[in-house]
Amino acid sequence: MSTKLYVGNLSFDTTEMDLQDHFAQAGSVTETALMQDKFTGKSRGFAFVTMSSADEAQKAISMFHGQNFQNRALTVNEARPREDRPGGGGGPRKSFGGGGGGERGGYQKRY
């Protein structure tokens, strides 16, 4: 059974291929997913690597956790299941309209 690993503290220059090649030292990698910012497309500094077995995942953790990779000390541990998030932004949004008159602070009209 495959096991997903969380890999943190990655260099922002790391690619999925870099991770694939590095983690292949511990066993068969079935998937790599480098998390990227949805607006800029730049790396967010963490990824998920799926190893083909639990034994290979444990081997990867022992080999790479705390070790230097591209001048960064990696954080490698078993990924936790994704938590459900409430959808829809947490409830209805209300609009109270625009502001009224009044004078800006410190500004007085001179006639």
Per-residue pLDDT, 63: 97
Q: Give the CATH number of the domain where residue 17 resides.
A: 3.30.70.330
Confirm whether 54 is domain-assigned: yes
Q: Which residues of 18-31 are buried (b: 16+ CB within 10 A; e: fewer)?
A: bbeebbeebbebee
Angstrom distance (rounded) from CA 97 to CA 8: 44
- Each of the 111 residues of the chain gets a pLDDT tens digit; together they read 899 999 999 999 999 999 999 999 999 999 999 999 999 989 999 999 999 999 999 999 999 999 999 999 999 999 998 787 776 555 555 555 555 655 566 656 666
The count of domains in the chain is 1
Per-residue pLDDT, 69: 96
Report yes or no on whether pTM surpasses 0.85: no
Confirm whether 65 is domain-assigned: yes
Per-residue pLDDT, 83: 81
Confirm whether 88 is domain-assigned: no
Give the range of the structural domain holding residue 29, as residue numbers without chain letter: 3-79
Confirm whether 85 is domain-assigned: no
Per-residue pLDDT, 15: 94
Confirm whether 64 is domain-assigned: yes
Say whether 64 sits in a helix, a strand or coil: helix
Asked whether the beta carbons of 9 and 44 are under 8 A apart, the reply is no
